[in-house]
Structure 1
Amino acid sequence: MKQLTGLDASFLYLETPNAPMHISGLSIYDQSTAPGGKVRFKDIIENTNNRLMSMPVMTQKLVTVPMNLDHPYWVTDGAFDPEFHIRHIALPKPGDWRQLCIVISRLHARPLDRAHPLWELYIIEGLDNVKGVPKGSFAMFSKTHHAAIDGTSGMELTAATHDLSPDYQRAHTAATVSVDSQPSALEMVIRSQYNSIRKPFHLLSVARNTVPGLAKVVAGLSKGQLSRIKDIPRTRFNDSVSPHRVFDAINVPLDDVKKIKNSVPGATVNDAAITIVGGALRKYLQAHDELPEQSLAAMAPVNVRSDKDKTGGNIVASMTVQVRSDVEDPLQRLQAVHESSSKAKELTNAIGAKTMTDYSQFIPATLTAQAARLASRWGLMNRMSPQFNCVITNVPGPPIPLYNTGAKMVANYGTGPVQDGLGLFHVISSYCGQFVISATSCRVIMPDPAFYRECLQASFDELLAAANAASSPAPAKKRKARTPARKTKARKARSAA
Structure 2
Amino acid sequence: MVDRVRPRDLAFLTEESPETPLHNATIEIFDGVDTEGRPFDYQRLVALINDRIAFVPRYRQRVQAVPGWLANPVWVDDENFDLGFHVRRSALPRPGTSAQLLELVSRIVSRPLDRSRALWEIYFIEGLQDGRVAVLSKTHQALVDGVHTVDLGQLLLDASPTPKQLEGDDWRPRAAPTPAGLVAAALQDTVSDPGTAMATVRSTSLALRRTAEGRTRRVRHLAGALAGRRPRSSGVINGPLSQQRRVVAVETKLADYRKIRKAQGGTINDVILATVTGALRAWLMTRAESLGGMRQVRAVVPVSVIDEELEATSLGSQIAAHFVDLPVGEPSPAVRMHQVSYSFQAHKDTGRSVAANRLAGIAGFAPTTFHAIGSRVAAEELRRGYHLSITNVPGPQAPLYAAGARMRASFPVPPLVPGHPLVIGVTSYDGGVFYGITADRDWVPDADLLGICLRESLDELLDVSTGGRQRAPRGRRRTSKPTDS
- TM bin (shorter chain): 0.7 to 0.9
Which residue in the other structure is 2:371 paired with?
none
Q: Which runs of 5+ in 2 are unaligned?
A: 200-232, 354-381, 472-485
Q: Does the residue aligned with 1:52 lie in a helix, a strand or coil?
A: helix
Matches within 5 A, 1:24-423: 24-92=25-93, 95-128=96-129, 135-149=130-144, 157-168=152-163, 174-177=168-171, 179-183=173-177, 184-190=181-187, 193-194=190-191, 197-198=194-195, 234-265=234-265, 267-288=266-287, 289-291=289-291, 292-303=293-304, 316-343=319-346, 387-423=385-421
TM-score, normalised relative to structure 1: 0.73
Q: Aligned pair in 2 of structure 1 residues 40, 251: CA closer, same or farther (>3 Å)?
A: closer
1:208 aligned residue: none
Q: Tell me, in whole angstroms, the C-alpha distance in 2 between the residues paired with 1:247 and 1:191.
A: 47
2:128 partner SS: coil
Q: Residue 115 of structure 1 aligns to which amino acid in structure 2? A: S
Aligned positions, number: 401
Please state how far the C-alpha of 1:12 moved relative to its aligned partner: 1.3
- Mark the CA change 1:94 to 1:201 in structure 2 (over 3 Å): closer, same or farther: closer
Q: Deviations over 1:373-420 (max 9, x none)?
A: xxxxxxxxxxx9981111101222211111111111011111011122
**2 CA distance for matches of 1:410 and 1:440?**
21
Query: 3-state DSSP class of the match of 1:263?
Result: helix
Matched AA of 2:182? A
Preserved CA contact (<8 Å) 2:144 2:150: no
1:29-56 CA distance string (max 9 Å, x none): 1133344431232111111111123312
For residues 60 and 295 of structure 1, do their structure 2 counterparts lie closer, same or farther at Cα, with a shift above 3 Å needed?
same
State the identity %. Answer: 30
Equivalent position of 2:368 in the other structure: none
1:47–1:161: 8 Å Cα contact kept in structure 2? Answer: yes
Change in 2 beyond 3 A, CA 1:464/1:21: same
User: Following TM superposition, by how much is the alpha carbon of 1:70 offset from its aligned partner in structure 2, in angstroms?
Assistant: 4.2
Contact 1:76–1:180 under 8 Å retained in 2: yes
Quick check: which has more Rg, 1 or 2?
1
Structure 2 CA distance, aligned partners of 1:305 and 1:180? 38
Q: Distance in 2 between matches of 1:174 and 1:385?
A: 43
What's the CA shift string for 1:342-392, capped at 9, x where partnerless?
346779979xxxxxxxxxxxxxxxxxxxxxxxxxxxxxxxxx998111110
The secondary structure found in structure 1 opposite 2:152 is: helix
What is the deviation of 1:280? 1.0
Q: Secondary structure at the match of 1:274?
A: helix
CA distance in 1, matches of 2:246, 2:455: 17
Deviations 1:189-210 (A, max 9, x none): 32563487237999xxxxxxxx
CA deviation map 1:166-200 (0-9, x unaligned): 234777x7533363453433135325634872379
The letter for the 2-side match of 1:15 is E
Amino acid at match of 2:416: V
**Is there any run of 5+ residues in structure 1 with no aligned partner, and where?**
129-134, 203-232, 351-383, 474-497
> Normalized against structure 2, the TM-score is what?
0.74
1:77-130 deviation digits (Å, cap 9, x = unpaired): 2332111100001013551111111011111111110111111000001111xx
Q: Deviations over 1:253-303 (max 9, x none)?
A: 1121122233333x2222211111111111111101331333011111234
**How much does 1:69 deviate?**
4.8
Residue matched to 2:459: 461
